Structure 1
C-alpha cells in the first residue's frame, strides 16, 4: 500500500487553480469536488480533490481515511483510491487518484447518458452496497448515499466519493456522537428512519432506491425544486406508480416509470422497465423490514434482459 500524502490547503488550492470553475466537478453533502491533472515521470496522473466546506467534519475526515486505507475495502472496484489528505487548521480535504468524467447527479438528466451506462451504475453501486453490508463482523452503513457522491471514472465505472457518514464495521458508532446529528443526504434521506432508535442498512437500501429511480426516470432533486417545494423523487415516484394501480395482476406487472426517451434507446428491452421499476419501489417501501437486502437487489438486477444481453460491457461474468 502506497504511503498516504499529507497535503496543505495551499497545495490543494494550487492544484485546482484556486478552486476555479474550470476544475469544478460538482457538489457533495459537505462541500465540492474538483479535478486535477498532473504530469509525472512516465505520463499524466489524474486526481479528484474533495474539499469539506460545512459542518463538523474532522471525525468524518478521520473515518474516511481509516476506511479507505483498510486493505479489504480497497478490494472493491467502486471504492475510491485515496492518495492524500489535508487537515490544515480548519481546512479539510482529500485527494483521490482517478480520472473523473462527471457525477451521476449531473449525468442523470442528460440524453447522452445511455441506458447501458445507467444499468452499469445501478449494478456496480448495488454490488458495492452488498459488499459493505455483508461479509464483515458488523455491516458498514453509508448513511448518506447520494447520486452527487458518485463520480464516474474514464471507463464509466462509478466511484463512491463520500464516506463522511459511514458507521459500523471497523469504525466507531458515529450515530451516537453529539456532533453527528446529520441523518443523511438531502432528498435521499429515509423519511421512516430512526423509528426504532438505531441506524439500519435499510436506510442505504432506501437511498439506493432513490438513485435507481433517478437513473430510470432522468429525475434529480434540484435546489430550485426545494425552493418551489416540489416533491422529492421518491414522493413523485410513489404518486406516479400508484396512479394506475389496479387489481389486475397483469396491469400491475406492466407498470414502468422508465423515461420515454430511454425506452427508445436501442439497448432497452421492454421487459426491463417494469422489473427495474418494481425493484426501485420495493427499495423505498414505507416498511423498512419489507425492503429487499442489497444482495436481493443485485440478484434481481442480474436477471434483467439488458444485463444478460450485454454482460461483457457491464462486467458481469
Structure 2
C-alpha cells in the first residue's frame, strides 16, 4: 500500500483495481469547497442567515453578469454545482469490500443524523459519531457512522477532511491493522454530499471517559482495558503507524467492556530523530500544500502515543478524568500511590502501576510497550490469585 493510494497486488491489476486506485487518488485531492454550501451544513450553522446573506451577495454578482435564479435555494444548488466545476469531480464507487452508500441511504441509516443517535464528537471536533442501522431485509445490521463535518466560515482543518477519509479508507484495509480486535472494521463510506465512514456494528456500551468515575467499572476491568490498549499500540508501532488517538474520549467500550478505537492521527513520525513517513497522507497547517512536510510543525510520534497512554493509565487507576489533575505537578511531586482508595489493591501493586504510569510520561526514556503489557498482566494475575484465595 503506497502513499498515493495504491493497494498492493501480487498479480496484474484488474481494471476494477485500477479504477479503485484512481478513485482514491482523486478523493485525496478533492477540494472541500463543494461541501461548504451543502443545505444540511448551512442549516446546522449557528446562524444560517449569515450564510444565506453571504450567498445573497454572490447572487447579486451573478445577476450583474446575466445569470437569473428562481430562488435562493435554486441558487444554492447552482452555486454548489459551480464550485464543483473548479475541483475534481469523482463518481462514487465501492472500494474493495467497502461499499459506497448514497446520501439518502446514509440518512436512512442514521434517521437523518438524528440527535437521538448521536454518540459523541470525534477528535479535535472534526466530526461526529452516530449509531445507525442498515436495514438488510429481515436482518437489520447495527452500525456506527463517523462523519467529517464542514463549518462556515471554514476552519483550516476542513481543508484536510478529504485527506482524512482517504487515509482512513486505506488504513483500515491494512491487514496488519484491521485484524486487531480493538480496531473498528470499516464496511462502508459516503463522499458524494458529505464525508462519512460506516463501521461494522458494535454492541456499544459507552465512551470510555463516561465510565471512568463509575464504581461499577472495577479494577480487573480497568486493567484489562489498559492491557488491550497497550497491545493495540504495540500492533500499530510494529506496523509502522502512529495511533494518536489514545484518549478516554476517543475509545468506545462494547457491552463486554472491550475497548474499540475509532480516532487516528495519520501523520508522519520521527524515529531516533530521523523523519519517517508512513504510507498515508502527511498533513500540516497549509491547505494549499497539504502533502508538504514542515520541519517547524510539531508532529505526533510513537513516544507521544506512549505519553498519552500514561495519561490514560492514570485516569483508569485514579478514577479521575485527565482534565481534573495536573500530571506536571504529579511528576514533580512523584507520589508513591495514586490508585483510588476504593480499589482493594495491594500496596506493592499500586506502587508498581503508579511508577509505570509516570515512566510513560517521561518522553526522554519511556518503557517499551512489551514491558508495559508484561507489568500489567503480572499485576492482573496477582489480583486474580488474591481473589481466588478469598
Unmatched tracts of structure 2, length 5 or more:
1-94, 151-156, 270-276, 386-390
| Secondary structure class of the residue paired with 2:378 | coil
Tell me if the contact between 1:103 and 1:150 (Cα under 8 Å) persists in the aligned partners.
yes
Provide the C-alpha distance between the structure 1 equivalents of 2:281 and 2:368, rounded to a whole number of angstroms: 21
Among 95, 98, 102, the residue aligned to 2:198: 95
Provide the C-alpha distance between the structure 2 equivalents of 1:157 and 1:207, rounded to a whole number of angstroms: 19
What does residue 186 of structure 2 align with? 82
| Secondary structure class of the residue paired with 1:214 | helix
What does residue 163 of structure 2 align with? 59
Provide the C-alpha distance between the structure 2 equivalents of 1:166 and 1:61, rounded to a whole number of angstroms: 13
1:271 aligns with 2:367: no
Tell me if the contact between 2:167 and 2:281 (Cα under 8 Å) persists in the aligned partners.
no
Tell me if the contact between 2:268 and 2:299 (Cα under 8 Å) persists in the aligned partners.
no
TM-score (ref. length: structure 1):
0.74
What does residue 291 of structure 1 align with? 366
Tell me if the contact between 1:82 and 1:95 (Cα under 8 Å) persists in the aligned partners.
yes
Question: Cα gap change, 1:156/1:58 in structure 2, threshold over 3 Å: closer, same or farther?
Answer: same
Shift of residue 41, structure 1, vs aligned partner: 5.5
Among 148, 151, 165, the residue aligned to 2:266: 165
Tell me if the contact between 1:31 and 1:53 (Cα under 8 Å) persists in the aligned partners.
yes
Tell me if the contact between 1:142 and 1:167 (Cα under 8 Å) persists in the aligned partners.
no
Question: Cα gap change, 1:173/1:15 in structure 2, threshold over 3 Å: closer, same or farther?
Answer: closer
What does residue 76 of structure 2 align with? none
Question: Which structure has more strand as a fraction of its residues?
Answer: 1
What does residue 190 of structure 1 align with? none
TM-score (ref. length: structure 2):
0.61
Question: Is the radius of gyration larger for structure 1 or structure 2?
Answer: 2
What does residue 282 of structure 2 align with? 174
What does residue 329 of structure 2 align with? 239
Among 203, 210, 213, the residue aligned to 2:314: 213
Aligned residues: 268
Shift of residue 19, structure 1, vs aligned partner: 2.3
Question: Cα gap change, 1:42/1:15 in structure 2, threshold over 3 Å: closer, same or farther?
Answer: closer
Tell me if the contact between 1:4 and 1:83 (Cα under 8 Å) persists in the aligned partners.
yes
Shift of residue 76, structure 1, vs aligned partner: 1.2
| Secondary structure class of the residue paired with 1:289 | coil
Provide the C-alpha distance between the structure 2 equivalents of 1:22 and 1:272, rounded to a whole number of angstroms: 42
Shift of residue 172, structure 1, vs aligned partner: 3.3
What does residue 7 of structure 1 align with? 101
Question: Which structure has more helix as a fraction of its residues?
Answer: 2
Shift of residue 167, structure 1, vs aligned partner: 4.0
